[in-house]
């Protein structure tokens, strides 16, 4: 099958509503043949297609890594390059896809987690202060969502790397998406910690009355939730129909 035909079939699959079925159907193709179509999915206008592409990166690239680790590294470097000012691109979906991949592959997480974290940190005068802070709120949302997603399986590691302190300033963001997703990520980090961080609980308290609405992608669905609900780790209450 030609690469063009595979791309069209993959984009068609990403438009389906059942994420589990999409994943099953994708197994019909060699992992290396799915990479470029999934990158195309990240640039589609349909929101759910973009998110499904992110989810599928988390399935395809870890399998690719087990076959050929360097091929998986090349994918990760493509994401990093897309977030580089010199690339001329914007990097939509890159932080989220990187996080999804690292959630499901230990070696890739070991090699690239520090890069995702760096997008929350400003550069500093010391050798170890190698931040790559992203100022664009739309990309900040992606980084913060990625940290929250990683907290599902790597909360202790993230906390050990100081992510709580990195996320706290995001709670003051004027962008409701950044603010809400930061609350969500911190709540998930808190749930994964052995000891309750009273300072963190206090930091989340001001969000308890925040009625701002945030679009949250979880388990293949897009939901609308208030910042208050996200900061409490509560499940989303409103599923948004596909294509909206």
Structural domains for the chain:
3-179 (1.25.10)
Contacts of 12-16 with C-beta under 8 Å, sequence gap 24+, read 14/41, 14/44, 14/49, 14/52, 14/53, 14/56, 15/46, 15/48, 15/49, 15/52, 16/52
Write the pLDDT tens digit of every residue in 116-143: 999 999 876 555 556 899 999 999 999 9
Is pTM, for the whole model, over 0.75? yes
221 forms bridges with which residues in the sheet? Answer: 218
Write the pLDDT tens digit of every residue in 141-164: 999 999 999 999 999 899 899 998
238 forms bridges with which residues in the sheet? Answer: 224
Query: What does the buried/exposed string (b/e) look like for 75-85 if buried means 16 or more CB atoms within 10 Å of the residue's CB?
Result: bbeebbebbee
């Amino acid at each position: 099958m030609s690469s063009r035909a595979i791309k069209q079939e993959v984009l068609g699959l990403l438009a389906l509503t059942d994420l589990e079925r999409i994943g099953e159907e994708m197994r019909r193709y060699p992992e290396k043949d799915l990479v470029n179509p999934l990158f195309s999915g990240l640039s589609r206008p349909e929101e759910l297609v973009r998110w499904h592409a992110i989810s599928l990166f988390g399935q395809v690239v870890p399998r690719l890594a087990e076959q050929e680790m360097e091929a998986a590294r090349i994918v990760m470097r493509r994401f990093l390059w897309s977030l580089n000012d010199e690339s001329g691109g914007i990097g939509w979906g890159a932080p989220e896809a990187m996080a999804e991949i690292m959630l499901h592959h230990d070696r890739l997480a070991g090699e690239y987690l520090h890069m995702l974290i760096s997008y929350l940190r400003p550069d500093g005068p010391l050798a170890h202060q190698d931040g790559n802070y992203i100022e664009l709120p739309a990309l900040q949302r992606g980084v913060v969502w990625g940290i929250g997603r990683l907290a599902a399986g790597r909360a202790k590691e993230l906390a050990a790397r100081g992510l709580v302190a990195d996320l706290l300033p995001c709670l003051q963001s004027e962008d409701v998406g950044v603010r809400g997703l930061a609350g969500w990520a911190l709540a998930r980090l808190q749930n994964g910690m052995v000891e309750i961080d009273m300072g963190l609980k206090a930091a989340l308290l001001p969000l308890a009355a925040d009625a701002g609405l945030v679009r949250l992608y979880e388990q293949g669905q897009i939901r609308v939730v208030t910042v208050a609900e996200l900061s409490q780790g509560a499940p989303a209450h409103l599923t948004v129909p596909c294509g909206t």
